[in-house]
Chain A
Amino acid sequence: MKVHVKAFATFREVMDSQFDMDFPKGATIHTLLAELTGKFEGLGELMFAAPGTLRDFVNILKNGRNVHFLAGLDTPLDDGDVIALFPPVAGG
């Protein structure tokens, strides 16, 4: 299945800003992040405080919904998903 990935703000300093990825059925946000951190040097450090624990204020959206309110890193990926990755950001 195909998933569209978008990265924003400081994440763009270490990875492409948007691209498609292919995953087998059963893949999760966790699968996606594992692949991305392997592919883009420095991303893991920006994203994770410890293995499996996202840094505070990192936000991952699946089609506009924060995965924190779905199943977190275990949230399953579905064909056609748009996954948006945000480092800590603020403003006002």
Chain B
Amino acid sequence: MDGYAGKMVYADLSARKVTIKPTPMELKKQYLGGRGFGIRLLTDMVDPKIDPLSDKNVVVYAAGPLTGTGIPLGSRYEVSTISPLTGTAMSANSGGVFGWKMKKAGFDAVVVTGKAKKPVYLLLDNGKAELRDAAHLWGKTTGQTTDAIMEELKDDKVRVSCIGPAGEKLVLFACIINEKARAAGRGGVGAVMGSKNLKAIAARGDLPIKAADEAQLNVVKDRVRKKIEENGIEKALHNYGTAVLINIINENYVLPTRNFQTAHFPNAEKVSGETIAKTILKKPKGCFACIVQCGRVHEFDGESGEGPEYEPDWAFGPDCGIDDLKAVARANNICNEYGLDAISAPATIACLMEMAEKGYVKHPIRFGDAKGMLKLVEQIAKREDIGNELAEGSFRFATKYGHPEFSMSSKKQELPAYDPRGIQGYGLATATSVRGGDHVYGYMISPEVLGAPEKLDPYVTKGKPQWVKTFQDLTASIDASGMCLFSSFALDAQDYADLLTATTGMKIDPAELLKIGERIWNLQKLYNIKRGLGRKDDTLPARLLNEPLKEGAPTGQVWKRDEMLDEYYTLRGWDAEGTPTKEKRKELGLA
């Protein structure tokens, strides 16, 4: 017993056939699970020349060895595919209980190939797997789909991860939703499911998940639980949710506002985590085995749902110039119901708002128009009217109208809720992210703004490339392990290594842990290069390099790419183009 379920499902949709095979030992050793499994399998199986929305793409669902083992915050699964939005090797991470259920059903991973003639869903059922008809589910929202599958199987314990209408309509940033509100959000993973006529994966079962050394695991579990409980950060997450960040990021003058035109939103308080707690919050909610419970269940005016998390709260709020919390929560619910990435959707709307206000696109929407924003979200999900153009993401949209500079994206994926001009290392992390504009592939906000594990001056570039590399590698291994990234506010590499060693029986020390992460990172990078990406793509929108911030402490700052990129490449063992050298590939076993 080693924390793994021990088996993987290969579902060939074109042949309507499923095959079950053991999880290979080599894969566990080199890639752990989760994102590692997904990226390795994907890059082995998919020709880099393919169209991501063709039947040649592959979708991998994978949990990690720590998923569902009862370790606090061990709740995660990853969905990996070639992104139709960025063209990169993508992985998107989700929590809730689905990852645990997948393993209870007997599987570490699901590899989906081909395209079904008619809509299907895959049922993972106590060691077996079966493709079932889903024509009756096509067109349904994620909530309706989840309820319909539970009803059909007469089982309220089955857990469902599915796409909504946006995925069916191939919105390039459609997401996958499990348990109605937890999202594998980014990169259009839902569109790839839609392109395969795969509506959902459902999982149920009661198979054991056992660690190699249960006694030792209990000792480490107690230690990490204590660390998490004693770390004040987790208390704020529990009481105020992730949107607790709205105020602190705003007070630092790095909260992107009105499509990154400024970095301070005077009405931020109205959409803050503190205001959510005082107004629409019904109760906190957590993923499997989580003692933090950063999720929000809300209720207002007869509407109920979950969230908003910090990112959508910012994107529908300050980035669209909107301070109406209920409209933000409503918009977030529409994203969950239709299966839209709640970062890219609002950020694309913010792009339209700026272009419309400046006269580059004829449209009545303006910053601050909550009603208009809500209408646009539905239009995108349904690809109606201008929504059909916005469904391609801000980069393609702005380019179509001749002004790509209004797209606040990197590698065509919309940037998250921090202005890199006032946070230099974060800017480097997002510009070099192997999945495009992103914050969770190396969360430099933690040291540069929040002060954990130590306070780094956000305006300084010196020393940042090394921090970025370490954070990126560590995050890749956390994503492979099945732990929630928020655990890293309290835990360090030694903790993860000890958890993995006790669970898997493989001897993993912090150096090995980082090596696994580095291997995953480089593998994604190498694949992206084969898809034509290079140094030119490791950058941010021109606005962030050229237009200085105009308010508050970071006034005058721009993002300083040139001071960091070469050093970062060198530290990574990459050449000046950002290509991993032969020696580096050999060192990582990627030759």
What residues make up the interface of A, taking CB atoms closer than 8 Å to B? Answer: 6, 8-10, 12, 17, 55-59, 61, 63-66, 68-69, 84, 86-92
Contact = CB atoms under 8 A, between A and B. Distances in A.
Interface of B: 231-237, 239-245, 247-248, 251-253, 273-274, 294, 309-311, 439-440, 443, 445-446, 449-452, 455, 457, 459, 485-486, 489, 552-554
B120 to A, nearest CB: 34
A90 B251 contact: no
Nearest to A63: B553
A92 B309 CA distance: 8
Nearest to A89: B236
Contacts of B252: 61, 64, 66
Most B C-beta atoms less than 10 A away, residue of A58, A59, A92? A92
Contact of B554 (A64, A88, A92): A64
Contact of A59 (B239, B294, B450): B450
B251 A92 contact: no
Contact of B233 (A17, A61, A64, A89): A89
B235 A88 contact: yes
A84 B457 contact: no
Contacts of A87: 232, 236
A66 B552 CA distance: 12
Nearest to B489: A90
Given A8-B247, A9-B240, A88 B445 contact: no
B310 A91 contact: yes
B231 A65 contact: no
Nearest to B236: A89
Given A57-B232, A59-B455, A90-B450, 11 more contacts: A10-B235, A57-B450, A66-B451, A68-B455, A84-B251, A88-B233, A89-B233, A90-B233, A91-B244, A92-B242, A92-B485
Contact of B451 (A9, A12, A59): A59
B274 A90 contact: no
Contact of B239 (A10, A55, A66, A86): A10
Contacts of A69: 455, 457, 459
Given A90-B236, A91-B294, A9 B251 contact: no
A49 B324 CA distance: 38
Nearest to A12: B274
Contacts of A57: 231-233, 450-452
User: 5 tightest A-B contacts by CB?
Assistant: A91-B242, A64-B553, A88-B232, A65-B553, A64-B552
B130 to A, nearest CB: 36
A88 B248 CA distance: 10
Nearest to A84: B251
B486 A90 contact: yes
B273 to A, nearest CB: 7
Interface of B is mostly: helix
A68 to B, nearest CB: 5
B496 to A, nearest CB: 17
A86 to B, nearest CB: 5
A68 B240 CA distance: 25
Contacts of B240: 9, 89
A9 B236 contact: yes
Contact of B245 (A10, A12, A61, A89): A89
Given A9-B244, A57-B451, A59-B451, A90 B237 contact: yes
A89 B292 CA distance: 13
Contacts of B311: 92
Nearest to B448: A66
Nearest to A85: B251
Given A9-B274, A86-B248, A92 B239 contact: no
9 contacts: A59-B248, A59-B451, A61-B252, A64-B252, A64-B253, A66-B252, A69-B455, A90-B245, A92-B245
A9 to B, nearest CB: 5
Nearest to B452: A57
Contact of B251 (A12, A64, A88, A91): A64
Given A64-B553, A92-B485, A10 B236 contact: yes
A56 to B, nearest CB: 7
A88 B273 contact: no
Contacts of B553: 61, 63-65
B248 A89 contact: yes
B468 to A, nearest CB: 16
A69 B232 CA distance: 22
A29 to B, nearest CB: 15
A6 B274 contact: no
Contacts of B445: 92
A69 B445 CA distance: 16
B439 A92 contact: yes
A29 B236 CA distance: 23
Given A89-B450, A92-B310, A92-B445, A61 B237 contact: no
Q: Which of A9, A61, A66, A68 has the most CB of B within 10 A?
A: A9
A66 B450 CA distance: 10
A85 to B, nearest CB: 10
Q: Which of A10, A61, A64, A86 has the most CB of B within 10 A?
A: A64
Most buried by B among A17, A59, A89, A91: A91
B486 A68 contact: no
Contacts of B446: 90
A77 B452 CA distance: 26
Contacts of B245: 89-92
A42 to B, nearest CB: 14
A66 B452 CA distance: 14
Contacts of A90: 233-234, 236-237, 242, 244-245, 446, 450, 452, 486, 489
A56 B453 CA distance: 8
Nearest to A18: B269
Contact of B455 (A6, A17, A66): A66
